[in-house]
Amino acid sequence: MALRLRLDKPWRPLTAEVVDRLPGNLGVYQIADAKGAIVYIGQAGARSAFGLRSELQREASHRASGHQFRVEVNQQYRTRWLELLMVHQADHGSLPADNAKNPPPALGRLSPN
C-alpha cells in the first residue's frame, strides 16, 4: 500500500455558501488562488470553535474572491499540518506564501518522491 502524503481532494470555491455546509470536524486545509497555486496550509484544531467550518469562514472573510480550498478531516491535525508543509517545501523549495509570513515551528525534511 502506497503512503499518500499529498492532499489530493478536489478544490471547492472558498465562498460563504460552500464553507457554511462544512462539518465542525478537526483537520487540515489548503487554500489556493484561482490558478490552483497553494497560498496557505492551515489546521483546525481543538481551539477552533467549530473546527474546519469556523477556520474556513475566517479565511473566506479575509480573502478576495476566486480562492479555493480543500480539506481533510484528521484527528492528528497538527502532525498532518506539519507533514503537508514539509511536502510543499520539498516540492516547491519554500513554504506557501502566507505560511512564510508567520512560519511554523522548525520543520524536518521530507522526501515525498
Q: Show Cβ contacts of residue 90 under 8 Å, excluding neighbours closer than 6 positions.
A: 109, 110, 111, 112
Model confidence pLDDT, tens digit, residues 45-58: 888 889 999 999 99
Burial (Cβ within 10 Å: 0-12, 13-18, ≥19) of residue 13? middle
pTM of the entire structure? 0.91
Evaluate whether 108 touches 86 at the Cβ level (below 8 Å).
yes
Q: Distance between CA atoms of 31 and 38, rounded to whole angstroms?
A: 6
State the pLDDT confidence band at 1, using cuts at 50, 70 and 90: very low
Three-state DSSP class for residue 20? coil
CATH architecture of 12-100: 3-Layer(aba) Sandwich (3.40)
Q: pLDDT value at position 113?
A: 67
